[in-house]
């Protein structure tokens, strides 16, 4: 029953690992595909939009250069030239370069035909900056016009006094003609916006004529907002790449500023689904591979687990006997692979454990019998060396302890002898003090006799007073000597 459980566990875990690995690989593959496609699209579209912006910049720069050249024409600044002469010159140039409108205005904005263009941005910028400029495109009479203006210099000398402004208009549809040639995928398109976000070039020219703006419709959904943010970055001079969804359709877009214009920008849009269709196909292929690999894995792992579990069960039985202290067990396994090596290793482990236990038992018996000079018969290996080292340290420590006890016993005996000698000396001193006390008692008796004799002779004191005084003096001296002797005896006794 346990073998079946082990098989299920091995099968479950290996299959989980296999399926998990396949899923991770599939996820990584899909992610790398998406990231790779996104990276390629980002790089490709960014390069394309930059090249297209440069193409438009060059085309517009050519128009600015042509109009700047008109401003250096001496007849346009000459007072000898009539208005008709000046207009004829401009007409000839317009026919050559394809301008659809032209004119000259004085510094107050009055044109030769009496119009006032002082409120036009191309007039103001050219006059204020004293250079050729491109004005904001605008729709007039059903067409989009882009005016280019440049200063007219006195006598054709650039940097001298300005005498007026020459302006020429180009058909704005040329922008759409250029952008229509740039298409990413079947549903992609390219468009150009001015500094206000108004579309001035698009594959749908009606959007140009209707002056539509993507920025103006940002409140419709999040996709429009993301697109507008990318356009605003481009208008601010920063290229951008963005992905957004509008009306359920996912788009990718790259935007870039157009340099040397009045803040224009260009955007290239492509369908996200067109470029990720191959990724979806790869996902289906990966899913099919995953299913087939899982089936093959189940069959192979079922056979494999059976080959593993039978020898493992035998090893398990022997380990169980070992765990309850049966060192006489032996693993029977005839496998010629790692499982067979495992069985041999277990048998070797059992043999070494048995040998170590016997060695420890023998050493402990020697110590118990008082023999601390242990002899090794088995060399312990690995971490078991700690046990052998502990036995050696224990034997050495016990031996040192016994030596210390013997040394302490000798020292105790020596101290006892010294104490006995001191006691004998003290006894001798006590005897000497007793003899001194007896001498003192004898002296006291003698003094007592002399005192009594002195009292008996008191009757003769009157006639023998001189003799009595001398004897009393001597008696006093003897008393003083006795007192000193008693003090000496007292000091010695203490």
Q: What pLDDT was estimated at residue 439? A: 67
CA distance 195 to 262: 6
Q: What pLDDT was estimated at residue 1? A: 44
CA distance 418 to 426: 12
Q: What pLDDT was estimated at residue 486? A: 66
Q: What pLDDT was estimated at residue 91? A: 92
State how far the alpha carbon of 396 is from the alpha carbons of 161, 356, 493, in Å.
Answer: 116, 20, 55
Q: What pLDDT was estimated at residue 162? A: 93
Asked if residues 447 and 479 have their Cβ atoms less than 8 Å apart, the reply is yes
Q: What pLDDT was estimated at residue 438? A: 67
**Low-confidence spans in the chain with pLDDT less than 70:** 1-7, 218-221, 333-335, 370-376, 388, 409, 412, 415-417, 419-476, 478-479, 482-483, 485-486, 489-494
State how far the alpha carbon of 192 is from the alpha carbons of 35, 98, 99, 119, 175, in Å.
Answer: 28, 21, 21, 24, 8
pLDDT, one tens digit per residue, over 323-335 is 777 777 777 766 6
pTM: 0.56
Q: What pLDDT was estimated at residue 117? A: 93
Say which DSSP state 111 is in: B
Asked if residues 60 and 174 have their Cβ atoms less than 8 Å apart, the reply is no
CA distance 234 to 310: 71
Q: What pLDDT was estimated at residue 258? A: 94
Q: What pLDDT was estimated at residue 483? A: 67
């Amino acid at each position: 029953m346990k073998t079946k459980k082990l098989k299920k566990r091995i099968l479950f875990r290996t299959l989980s690992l296999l399926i998990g690995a396949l899923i991770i690989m599939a996820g990584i593959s899909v992610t790398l595909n998406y990231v790779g496609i996104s990276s390629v699209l980002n790089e490709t579209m960014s390069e394309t939009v930059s090249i297209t912006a440069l193409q438009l910049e060059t085309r517009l720069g050519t128009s600015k250069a042509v109009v700047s050249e008109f401003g250096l024409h001496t007849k346009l600044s000459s007072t000898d030239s009539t208005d008709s002469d000046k207009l004829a010159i401009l007409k000839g140039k317009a026919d050559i370069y394809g301008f659809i409108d032209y004119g000259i205005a004085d510094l107050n904005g009055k044109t030769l035909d009496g119009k006032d263009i002082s409120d036009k941005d191309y007039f103001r910028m050219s006059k204020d900056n004293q250079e050729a400029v491109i004005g904001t495109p605008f729709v007039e009479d059903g067409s989009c016009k882009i005016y280019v203006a440049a200063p007219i210099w006195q006598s054709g000398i650039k940097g001298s006094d300005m005498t007026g402004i020459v302006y020429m208009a180009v058909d704005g549809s040329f922008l759409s003609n250029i952008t229509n040639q740039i298409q990413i995928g079947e549903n992609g398109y390219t468009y150009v916006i001015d500094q206000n976000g108004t579309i001035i070039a698009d594959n749908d020219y009606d959007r140009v004529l209707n002056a539509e703006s993507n920025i103006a419709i940002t409140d419709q959904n999040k996709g429009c907002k993301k697109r507008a943010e990318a356009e605003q970055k481009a208008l601010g001079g920063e290229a951008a790449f963005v992905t957004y969804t509008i009306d359920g359709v996912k788009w990718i877009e790259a935007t870039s500023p157009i340099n040397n214009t009045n803040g224009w920008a260009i955007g290239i849009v492509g369908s996200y689904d067109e470029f990720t269709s191959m990724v979806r196909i790869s996902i289906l292929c990966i899913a099919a591979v995953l299913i087939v690999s899982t089936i093959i894995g189940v069959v192979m792992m079922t056979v494999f687990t059976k080959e593993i579990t039978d020898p493992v069960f035998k090893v398990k039985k022997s380990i169980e006997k070992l765990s309850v202290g049966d060192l006489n067990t032996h693993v029977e396994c005839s496998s010629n692979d790692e499982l067979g090596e495992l069985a041999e290793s277990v048998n070797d482990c059992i043999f070494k454990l048995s040998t170590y236990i016997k060695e420890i038992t023998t050493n402990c018996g020697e110590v118990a019998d008082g023999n601390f000079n242990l002899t090794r018969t088995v060399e312990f290996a690995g971490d078991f060396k700690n046990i052998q080292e502990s036995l050696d340290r224990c034997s050495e420590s016990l031996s040192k302890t016994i030596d210390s006890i013997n040394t302490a016993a000798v020292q105790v005996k020596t101290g006892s002898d010294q104490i006995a000698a001191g006691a004998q000396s003290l006894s001798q001193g006590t005897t000497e003090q007793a003899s001194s006390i007896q001498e003192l008692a004898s002296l006291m008796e003698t003094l007592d006799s002399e005192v009594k004799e002195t009292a008996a002779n008191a009757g003769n004191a009157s006639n023998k007073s001189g003799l009595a005084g001398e004897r009393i003096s001597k008696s006093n001296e003897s008393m003083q000597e006795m007192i000193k002797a008693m003090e000496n005896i007292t000091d010695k006794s203490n």
